[in-house]
Amino acid sequence: MADSIQSFKAADLVIQLSSAPKAKPNVVDFGTVFTDHMLTIEWSAAEGWQAPLIGTFGNLSLHPACSSLHYGIQLFEGLKVYRGDDGQLRLFRPMLNMNRMANSARRACLPAFDQSELLECIRRLVEVDQDWVPHSDSASLYIRPTFISTEPSLGVKKPARALLYVILCQAGSYFNTELGALSLWADPKYTRAWKGGTGDCKMGGNYGCSLFAQYEAMDYGCQQVLWLYGEDHQITEAGTMNIFLHWINEDGEEELATPPLDGIILPGVTRQSILELTRKWVEFKVTERYLTMGQFCLALEQQRIKEMFGSGTACMICPIGNIVYQGESLHIPCQDDQPLLTSRIAKELTDIQYGRSPSNWTFLV
């Protein structure tokens, strides 16, 4: 990190412990019950970053003109802390989240910060609320770093005030094979992201404007939207997950493919990890390439599709069994039994996250 960047420092952290810690519930609906503490760090153009504060979890007080509310000048991150069988708490490649957050901040005209200082503040927050990390090898504590403009005026301009905060909540396991494979609704009439836009940043606006399509997908009996792009109906992402296709490609080669990071794809930590992991196996071709619905339909007809899955921190890896496209329901037959590659990747990644396989991808709390 360049010295020229003004940042808060973890060494200045102020900790004010809650006087009324809550009872810890069993893992409840995701994102509804938060821990006792939160991290807040204020910034202003006039005074720069203030000392980071870990204090009691509670409501924010915002000016009604605040530009995060009016113009969506805000962004977020999502990562998890896992409790291993050895009791040790681990984060999974958290610097990738910190760096992605810094990129999103740059694109949102929010101030820069030192990513490793933020990670150390988050580590301290998790330490304070460590009893909230579930004792389970299928659940975890979800960390939601958030960065909002608190500019108290209506001009559309670079904010002169901002607030970076981090909240924590328990998360159950989304990888549940009993739930079966996902069904996706693919209609090119909606677009999640476009060239030159912000699809590669975790900004709230990308998600708020996807809801309408999500509910239309549900009207068609599907669980998520398969986001297509362009005249040739490129496959881009599934809901809020990156997407992978395991198939025999046009040249007859076994291939695991995912769309390239060309600006409309969110650079997922899970995506990157799956690419690195499977490239190390050297068992089949692993590619970042364009995939179109035309190629997919032809391959399905010729029985060249092996597996398809989505990836992301929330669900880790989620098999896809069905795609509704142009009035047809396309079934991916190999997903009916145990999807072999999906299960193998899920096992290798969870073994790392829960400390069963040693890896330099884990960061100890």
Query: Contact positions toward ligand PLP, by CB under 6 A?
Result: 78, 202, 237, 240-242, 266, 268-271, 311-313
- Give me the least distance between CB of 265 and ligand PLP, in Å please: 8
Residue 93 beta carbon to ligand PLP: minimum distance, rounded to whole angstroms: 9
Minimum CB distance to ligand PLP, residue 150 (Å): 23
Q: Which amino acid, residue 221?
A: G
Separation of alpha carbons 99 and 172, rounded Å: 26
Residue nearest to ligand PLP (CB): 268
Nearer to ligand PLP, 158 or 344 (CB): 344
Q: Is the CB of 49 or the CB of 142 nearer to ligand PLP?
A: 142
Contact between 247 and 304 (Cβ < 8 Å): yes
Closest CA to 44 of 16, 58, 63: 63
Nearer to ligand PLP among residue 242 and residue 278 (C-beta):
242
Which residue lies nearer to ligand PLP by CB, 54 or 320? 320
CB of 22 vs ligand PLP, minimal distance in Å? 27
Q: How far is the CB of 159 from ligand PLP (least distance, A)?
A: 23
Query: Would you state the torsion angle of the CA atoms of residues 83, 84, 88, 90, taken in this order, to the nearest 10 degrees?
Result: -60
Q: How far is the CB of 18 from ligand PLP (least distance, A)?
A: 29
The tokens 């009035």 sit on which residue? 327
CA distance 183 to 204: 24
Element (H, E) at 121: helix 115-128
In this complex, which beta carbon is closest to ligand PLP, that of residue 160 or of residue 261?
Answer: 261
* Cα distance between residue 94 and residue 123, in whole Å: 10
Q: Name the 3-class secondary structure at 300.
A: helix
Asked if residue 132 lies in contact with residue 35, where contact means CB atoms within 8 angstroms, the answer is: yes
d(CA 123, CA 130): 10
Q: Rank residues 79 and 334 by Cβ distance to ligand PLP and give the closer one.
A: 79
